[in-house]
């Protein structure tokens, strides 16, 4: 990626890090102390070497105090680096914690359109894997960048103070390391970016295959799934190998440059010793400085390569955080307390793709307490209409109102609280059976929960579970059948009893006998409530007050069962074809 695209990402990272400026300041001070100690030791070592005058001729009175000081300085150096690492760890992982919190909070505000358009596995990969990679790069940057820069500056000052000619030799060769590091860094970022993107695709595909393993096996798609996986995995290996190849060039190339610098210092220093302008101890000190001076370049170039990966990962997380949020409630939006259940749709138009209209000029007037059935072929817009009523999607034109108030002027939270949904697709969270039933009414008493479970005909199988209502469920609730999951979702709605209900194939996974019992419970629950029923089995909606027959996003017929059958239109054709199949 070009530099101008990396700058905003880098600025945002610095903004996140800025919240911990006190920790960073302390880390810088400790880094300075550690570098000062590291640079002082060669001076003491050089003086100690100079106490060795000749064979059997050592000035121990000068040597022993120098050795003690070296030991003390080394201890200070070790402690400084230890505390610096503690601070760097704290800053790095708190920054990543903040970033993950931002991402998760933003996901809660994202519209369903974003989540429908992006693979769940890729989104998970951004929050987990990419955040971990970012943390690793950030930690390496804090740990090695501070000390590296300070070491370079400190050694330069000391080398110029000792012998400016040798120091100039070192400085003239140093740009080679910088050139190599820059050359490699410019090529690693793009590879690390592609590696992160492909890792997200790989995670998404694995999540998809594991979640639909039964379907894959049922249609004997194991080989095809493996081929698709191998293709994505191959792309990931390709980009990973290229990224690692370019980044791994950093170490040997900079070490080669460092060896040149060290050899040049040794040559020029040896000539200075022969000429009498340097002692052996000072030359030893200088060689140590030359090594310490070149070593940070090697580390910093490695850090730069790692930071390319961190920047690529951070950019993917920021792109998630920057995704447009669900439109907020209007400033004057009111709270819908307990709806009467009057719903009106006037000229509603909506499409997922602007080039392909779905619902056009839909008009509907529902009186409180009515049972409205919505039928039609697959893809005609039945579930889409439900999504529009709940404001999971925003209409593109027209208006929807509840109790005479436009849904635009009602808070989403209160609007959705007045609807109870039982869908064909069930969802249970990782919690106990009791907590799952009480999801919409956390304050419910034990008696209310059991009563709702009995009404849904779920009490019997719940009591047969190992811990009854206290049985913990995983997020996929694998210990329950699909029908049992649906019964728990029905019990959840029967507990909260909102004034309006949406039943989208609510009994699709339940046996016929239990379905008949639940239909009786539904009949009691529906009394006095506005109910929207999305149904494929037309025999279950014969008693509906109004049946809307949808085709290609339009209501082509409406009326009760008897009226529609008598008209002999599209509904009659659908009903006869379905009953003939039975």
Nearest residue to 246 (alpha-carbon basis) of 316, 304, 314, 315 = 304
Show the domain range for 130. Answer: 13-321
Domain boundary among 287, 321, 355: 321
Residues 130 and 246 in one domain: yes
Tell me, what's the pLDDT at 302?
66
Please check whether residue 3 lies inside any domain of the structure: no
Q: What is the pLDDT of residue 113?
A: 79
Same domain for 351 and 269: no
Given this model, what pLDDT does residue 46 score? 75
The pTM assigned to this predicted structure is 0.66
**Do 411 and 284 share a structural domain?**
no
Q: What is the DSSP letter of 411?
A: -
Domain membership flag for residue 201: yes
Q: Is there a single domain that holds both residue 363 and residue 505? A: yes
Identify the pLDDT of residue 582: 46
User: Does 429 share its domain with 488?
Assistant: yes
Domain count, the chain: 2
CA dist 349 to 271, 343, 363, 385, Å?
Answer: 88, 16, 10, 10
78, part of any domain: yes
Per-residue burial over 269-306, b = 16 or more CB atoms within 10 Å of its CB, e = otherwise: beebeeeeebeebbbbbbbbbbebbbbbbbbbbbbbbb
CATH code, domain carrying 442: 3.40.50.300
What is the Cα–Cα distance from 545 to 484, expressed in whole angstroms? Answer: 29
Say if residues 569 and 557 touch (Cβ distance below 8 Å): yes
Same domain, 356 and 289: no
What pLDDT, on the 0 to 100 scale, is given for residue 7?
63
How far is 132 from 81, CA to CA, in rounded Å? 23
CA–CA dist 312, 318 (Å, integer): 10
**pLDDT computed for residue 212 by the predictor:** 75
* pLDDT value at residue 185: 66
Query: 303 with 437, same domain?
Result: no
Decide if 269 is inside a domain: yes
pLDDT under 50 in the chain at which residues?
1-3, 582
Last residue of a domain, one of 291, 321, 351: 321
Report yes or no on 34 lying in a domain.
yes
Half-sphere exposure of 321 (CA within 13 A, CB side): 18
211 domain-assigned: yes
Considering the domain boundaries, does residue 2 fall inside one? no
Do 152 and 272 sit in the same domain of this protein? Answer: yes
- Shared domain for 190 and 302, answered yes or no, is yes
Q: Is residue 6 part of a domain?
A: no
pLDDT at 507 (0 to 100): 65
Last residue of one domain, picked from the residues 321, 355, 381: 321
CATH number for the domain that contains residue 313: 1.20.1560.10
Per-residue pLDDT, 213: 76
């Amino acid at each position: 990626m070009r530099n101008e695209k990396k700058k905003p990402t880098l600025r945002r990272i610095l903004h996140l890090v800025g919240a911990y400026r006190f920790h960073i300041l302390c880390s810088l001070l400790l880094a300075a102390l550690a570098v000062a100690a590291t640079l002082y030791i060669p001076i003491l070592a050089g003086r100690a070497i100079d106490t060795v005058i000749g064979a059997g001729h050592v000035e121990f009175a000068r040597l022993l105090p120098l050795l003690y000081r070296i030991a003390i300085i080394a201890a200070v150096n070790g402690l400084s680096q230890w505390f610096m690492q503690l601070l760097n760890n704290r800053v790095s992982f708190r920054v990543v914690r903040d970033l993950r919190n931002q991402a998760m909070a933003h996901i809660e505000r994202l519209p369903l359109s974003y989540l429908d358009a992006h693979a769940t596995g890729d989104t998970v990969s951004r929050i987990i894997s990419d955040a971990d990679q970012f943390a690793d790069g950030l930690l390496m940057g804090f740990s090695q960048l501070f000390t590296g820069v300070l070491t370079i500056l400190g050694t330069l000052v000391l080398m110029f103070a000792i012998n400016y000619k040798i120091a100039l030799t070192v400085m003239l060769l140093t740009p080679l390391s910088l050139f190599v590091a820059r050359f490699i860094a410019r090529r690693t970022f793009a590879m690390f970016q592609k590696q992160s993107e492909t890792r997200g695709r790989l995670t998404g595909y694995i999540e998809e295959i594991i979640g639909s393993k039964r379907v894959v096996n049922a249609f004997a798609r194991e080989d095809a799934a493996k081929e698709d996986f191998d293709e994505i995995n191959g792309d990931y290996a390709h980009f990973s190998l290229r990224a690692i190849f370019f980044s791994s060039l950093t170490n040997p190339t900079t070490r080669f440059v460092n060896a040149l610098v060290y050899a040049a210092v040794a040559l020029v220093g040896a000539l200075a010793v022969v000429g009498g302008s340097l002692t052996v101890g000072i030359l030893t000190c200088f060689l140590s400085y030359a090594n310490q001076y070149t070593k940070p370049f090697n580390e910093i170039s490695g850090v730069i390569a790692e930071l390319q990966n961190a920047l690529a990962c951070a950019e993917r997380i920021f792109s998630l955080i920057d995704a447009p949020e669900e439109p907020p409630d209007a400033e004057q939006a009111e709270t819908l307390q307990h709806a009467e259940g009057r719903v009106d749709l006037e000229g509603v138009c909506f499409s997922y793709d602007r080039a392909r209209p779905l619902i056009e000029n839909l008009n509907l007037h529902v009186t409180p307490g009515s049972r409205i059935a919505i039928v039609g072929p697959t893809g005609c817009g039945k579930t889409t209409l439900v999504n529009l009523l709940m404001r999971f999607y925003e209409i593109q034109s027209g208006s929807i109102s509840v109790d005479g108030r436009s849904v635009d002027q009602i808070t989403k939270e209160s609007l959705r609280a007045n609807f109870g949904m039982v869908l064909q697709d069930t969802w249970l969270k990782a919690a106990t059976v009791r907590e799952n039933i009480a999801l919409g009414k956390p304050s419910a008493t034990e008696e209310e929960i059991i009563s709702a479970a009995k009404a849904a005909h779920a009490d019997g199988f719940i009591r047969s579970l190992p811990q009854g209502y206290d049985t913990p469920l995983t997020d996929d609730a694998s210990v329950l059948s699909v029908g049992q999951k649906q019964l728990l979702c029905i019990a959840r709605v029967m507990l909260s009893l909102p004034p309006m209900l949406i039943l989208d194939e609510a009994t699709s996974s339940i046996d016929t006998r239990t379905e008949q019992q639940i239909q009786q419970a539904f009949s009691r629950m529906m009394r006095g409530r506005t109910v929207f029923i999305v149904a494929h089995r037309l025999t279950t909606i014969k008693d509906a007050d109004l049946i809307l027959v949808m085709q290609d996003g339009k209501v082509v017929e409406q009326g009760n069962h008897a009226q529609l059958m008598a008209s002999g239109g599209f509904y009659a054709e659908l009903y006869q074809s379905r009953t003939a199949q039975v």
